[in-house]
Chains A and B, each alone.
Chain A
Amino acid sequence: MGFLDISNVTKSYGTVEVLHQVDINVEEGEFLVLVGPSGCGKSTLLNMIAGLEGITSGDISIKGRVMNGVHPSNRNIAMVFQSYALYPNMTVGQNMTFGLEMHGVEKSKRDVALKDVAKLLQLDQLLDRKPGQLSGGQRQRVAMGRALVRDPDVFLFDEPLSNLDAKLRVDMRTEIKKLHEKLKTTIVYVTHDQIEALTLSTRIAVMNGGYVQQLGTPKEIYDTPANLFVATFMGSPAMNVLPAKVSTIDGVPYAQIIDGEGQPVSLRFSQENMADWDGKDILLGIRPEALTDPEGADRKSTNIATFHNAIDVTEPAGSDTFVTTTLGDADVIARLRADTDVASGQMFEFAVNMDKAVVFDPVSEQRIAP
């Protein structure tokens, strides 16, 4: 029994089921991120936790108390909305204490709570302003302040950073993370941005098509994605997926792929159980950072394979240089060190860290190794 239990929850609109059998237990102090493409049901799930949408079947409970049918204001939760949803006619201070006022907290106590939170979020100077006079980042902080003042059991964030510009988004991301480390509150956070998910969370639920595809720590999600969807959705640039065939030489499994000139390349698997797939087709997943030049390859790796291939495109990105090359008839992105001297059209020696390779069944698209 966790702090926030979502057990066997489904949601249907008429005959269309949009959420199927969701089961998530959130521990106290956890930062759970629900991530997925638009329409995957993540916001619906959040709204169901908030009580803004009904539950078709299953239970949601907070601190062991079943919340189905309990009014949003009686769940002791607070929510930060995508548009911030600050009341335009009230000052920052009134915005932040409105919830307390509605819950009948007396003025002196409200003022104390407001003062604490305003100090925490550096909003002291802004308390008498109207939301219209604030910048995007300030509004965001007020929205968080409004949630914090109430000292709820669970915080819900609905894509809170998507209205900010790129730089501010990174700053606010750090702010939120700091806040969580300091206050140790339980947070459920919805985003479609996989970087936000990886950086902020203690656990991630990757959702697609109304199903939770995988629930795990950021490292589990990134290194051992449960299926092809999770593998390609999480990480930027996306994981390279190449069709390959397994063959064994003296009982050692190799992945057979074809390079840009149609020549075969053999890459030895780090996982010996891949020998069971001898002769079968698989999908080989390689993250861009696992495909580099030999000098840049991970020195701790036990299994680095090298091969030569032509470079199609180079994209210097400052901190790294991304190059595109053709493997197994697909464009593959490799991540090289920034100063690597490369030009398009040039032959280049690539190094693959096969310890980090992930293998998928091409039919079921589920991970089979590691």
Chain B
Amino acid sequence: MSIATQDTDVNTGKIARTFIYLVLLVFALFYLLPFFVMVVNSLKPLDEITGGNMMALPDKWTIQPWLSAWSSAQIGVEPTGLKPYFVNSILMVVPAVAISTFLGALNGYVLTKWRFKGDTILFGLLLFSCFIPFQIVLIPMATILGKIGLAGSIPGLVLVHVVYGVGFTTLYYRNYYAAFPTELVRAAMMDGAGFFRIFWRIMLPVSGPITVVSVIWQFTNVWNDFLFGASFGGQSQPMTVALNNLVQSSTGVKEYNVHFAGAILAALPTLLVYIVAGRYFVRGLMAGSVKG
């Protein structure tokens, strides 16, 4: 990779170089500015925000807004803070990501290595699910969740997100496995490995990059989802809905510093996933798409 970039490197003079870095710096600052505002204001007492400058550093540093947002802020009618909702989100995201990624891998494996009549049509239909807007399925989904007794529960939300995510994860894994030599599967068959053995021992161990892509994609989407959470969450609403209830409350004083802290709390997990796994992200996307 590094050799390839050296080959295509454009020869630039010192002035051009400086200019490029300057422009990049300006853009970087521009994109970092909102985050700066959020962090700075979440560390100020409320009167400094209402009476002062949004851009200024705090006169008096405090982590009180963070503690309040986490454990004591008024969410709807209960003064619980975001903590229980954060737990709800984790309980929803982890199984939803795990199940949809696993099903996507299994689908991709079957669609590329165990071809059957009509497999391309099936794949096309699965892809189609990536393009269905959330709003369209709200009412049918509510009916189904009600009928199977999962309405207003975390398992219900997990189901909804798995159903929605499987289209994407299948797409990723199918394209990744399409570039995987079929001879390996045949060799394993002759060695006596069965359907699942081949999947566990041969396919999954080399699926690292695409699994990272799938996990990041699913984690971000499921964590950030508001509509399904608000519609089907019931008593177990996720973080995004709680954040909305925190910020949008129409009674009392608007505690902007607490709102900022809460918003950062809500964004932290996805940020963390990106930082930990992000460098594999582009690599995995490329691996799937170039040869697929």
Which residues of A come within 8 Å of B, CB atoms?
A: 50-52, 71-74, 77-79, 81-83, 85-89, 98-99, 102-103, 146, 150
Contacts and interface: CB of A to CB of B under 8 A. Distances in A.
Contacts, number: 58
Interface stretch (B86-94, B129-137, B183-191, B252-260): B183-191
Contacts of B184: 85-88
Contacts of B190: 50-52, 72-73, 77-79, 99
B195 to A, nearest CB: 12
Nearest to B184: A85
B151 to A, nearest CB: 43
A86 B191 CA distance: 12
Main SS of the interface on chain B?
helix
B206 interface: yes
Nearest to B181: A83
Contacts of A89: 202, 205-206
Contacts of B192: 73-74, 99, 102-103
B187 A81 contact: yes
A85 B187 CA distance: 6
Interface in B27-49: none
Nearest to B205: A89
A13 to B, nearest CB: 13
Interface residues of B, number: 16
A98 B206 contact: no
Given A88-B206, A98-B193, A102-B193, A81 B188 contact: no
B291 interface: no
Contact of A72 (B181, B189, B197, B206): B189
B189 A52 contact: yes
A98 B193 CA distance: 9
A87 B180 CA distance: 11
Given A102-B197, A103-B192, A79 B187 contact: yes
A150 B201 CA distance: 19
Contact of B183 (A51, A78, A83, A98): A83
A50 B186 CA distance: 10
Given A89-B206, A102-B197, A81 B191 contact: no
